[in-house]
Amino acid sequence: MFWQEDAKKEHFTLPETTQDAVFNISAKILPIDHSFLLLQALLKHLPWLDEAGAGIFNISVADGNGWAQNHKDGFYYPSKRSKLTIRVPKNRLDETQKLLGKTLDLGQYQIKIVKALKPKLLSDMPVLFAKNIACNQAMNEHDFLQVTFEQLKTLGISVKKMMAGLENNIKTDIHIIHTRSLMVADLKKDESVLLQEKGLGDYRLLGCGLFIPHKDITSI
């Protein structure tokens, strides 16, 4: 754990340059590790994702605070609340609407894009959470946090509080990507938005390095 105190309050207007395109979906069953399959399916409809600095979130059901999920059989059953979310530059939002009514083919699994919801602005909340940050499997928690601290510093973010969480693996057709979950707290508003815009590390199209707001550090 890495911990420092305090952040000052500030006035801030949320920028619109990067937004989340959100869709209601219908899917009977999906493997927990579906990042690569989802990417390949989306590229067939939105081939520009690879060049736009986009990020693709895993499709998941509600899983508490993300620190203790456990799916023993390797599958889950998306509910009516499950969403497909793609983080894109504002000028690409209209192009994502091409997905509406399409069925994404993930091999043995299919995802029907049912409805396009209103795009979401990024959050200015001080606590952010990423389910997967790509990292070296040989790193212990201390080393992971130290490397992360340096990466955030490079972005111009003066991090005060971080907590590493679950380790995970994402399989592609050629290799396995090791990840850890990460919470970053006490961010300034502009730092929070910047971290969501830029992400952290590689493999954004596989759901890595993508941050969402987390309600409260005391709930961990």
Domain extent, residue 156, equals 2-13+123-219
> Residue 208 belongs to a domain with what CATH number?
3.30.70.1210
pLDDT digits (tens, 9 = 90+) for 83-106: 999 999 999 999 999 999 999 999
Under a CB-based contact definition with an 8 Å cutoff, are residues 90 and 18 in contact?
A: yes
Backbone angles phi, psi at 219, to 5 degrees: -85, -5
> Residue 73 belongs to a domain with what CATH number?
3.30.70.1890
Do 199 and 148 have their domain in common? yes
Do 34 and 82 have their domain in common? yes
pLDDT digits (tens, 9 = 90+) for 153-172: 999 998 989 999 999 999 99
Do 104 and 153 have their domain in common? no
Q: Looking at 53, 88, 121, which one is the last position of a domain?
A: 121
Do 27 and 8 have their domain in common? no
Nearest residue to 125 (alpha-carbon basis) of 1, 10, 47, 32: 10
Q: Looking at 121, 140, 155, which one is the last position of a domain?
A: 121
Do 50 and 145 have their domain in common? no
pLDDT digits (tens, 9 = 90+) for 13-65: 788 999 999 999 999 999 999 999 999 999 999 999 999 889 999 997 544 44
- pTM comes to 0.87
Do 38 and 86 have their domain in common? yes
Do 134 and 179 have their domain in common? yes
Do 43 and 111 have their domain in common? yes
Q: Looking at 121, 142, 177, which one is the last position of a domain?
A: 121
